[in-house]
Amino acid sequence: MKDNKESKSQVFHSYCLYPKVDFPSREDGEEVVLILRAHPITQIFWVLNGFILFITLLILNFFFPKLFNFYQIFFLNLFFLGIILSYCWFNFLNWFFNVGIITNKKIVDIDFYGVIYKEVTMAKLNKVEDITSKTGGYIQSLFNFGNVFVQTAGTEVNIEFINIPQPSKVVALINDLLGKKHYGADN
Amino acid sequence: MEQIINILNIKNIIHYSFKPLAILISFLYVIFALIVLKQTEVMNKTLNSSANIFFNFISLLQLIFAVIVLLVAIFLI
């Protein structure tokens, strides 16, 4: 099979092949093959929430003059607009940096919870025993996204990629990398 | 008696409590913006890409905005 190592991204950067990125535990000669993020459709809730909050602020502006003076209204608008934008920005950051990384040597899962919690899970490719993809429901089938579970041998932790696009393609790619690893075709 | 009723008037309550509350929540917002800026730096170190400068810039803008909101609460209200 011919390797096409051109960097390209699909589904709004949630499925990036050969991206130009780096991460701290990357070894010499290790190549990032795929970066995965949650499918953008799973982020629709905070986008809608932001929009609804913005509309609510606009509606509240009709009632503000009855209770507050001009400077107080100015402050309230500035503050709530800031809160809405911060809410959207924070959710975007959480989406962008919660990634699954597949390299030619290992699989890495980086998760950020809330504002300050970070979890990095790593598994060497030669420790991978089983890969399962799971897609269910109308939305997942319609937009082609789902979960991928990577089971590892021994004490190594299992890795889960949740709501990622094209899960079957990801399984095929990991299997391909495993094949190369086992039969030594990656040199 | 009239003075007490006047003080308990909803508009007066808003008038007297608005500024301290505004300063308090603006201050909390500045702290939140600072934490997000710090977290953005941590995230950038975890996944290094060409977009990192942009993310830092936006988080910094958020902090500047939060400081402006705090200044408005202190000096303009």
Q: How many CA atoms lie within 13 A of A128 on its CB side?
A: 28
Q: What is the pLDDT of residue A3?
A: 55
Q: What is the pLDDT of residues B11-62, one digit of tens each?
A: 777 778 889 999 999 999 999 999 999 999 999 999 988 889 999 999 999 9
**Interface list for A 1-30 with B (CB within 8 A):** 19-24
Rounded to whole angstroms, how far apart are CA atoms A150 and A21? 22
pLDDT beyond 60 at A187: no
Q: Is the dihedral of CA A67, A69, A70, A71 positive or negative?
A: negative
**Which residue of chain B is at minimal alpha-carbon distance from A32?**
B47
How many Å lie between the alpha carbon of B25 and the closest alpha carbon of chain A? 9
d(CA A145, CA A162): 9
Contact, A108 vs A100, CB < 8 A?
A: yes
Q: Do B29 and A89 touch (CB under 8 A)?
A: no
Hey, what amino acid is at B48? Answer: N
**Structure tokens, A113:** 């919870």
pLDDT at position A186 is 47
Q: Which residues contact B67 (CB under 8 A, 6 or more apart)?
A: B30
pLDDT tens-digit readout, A72-91: 999 999 999 999 999 999 99
CB contact under 8 A, B39 and A89: no
| Residues in chain A closer than 8 A to B62 (CB atoms) | 82, 85-86, 89
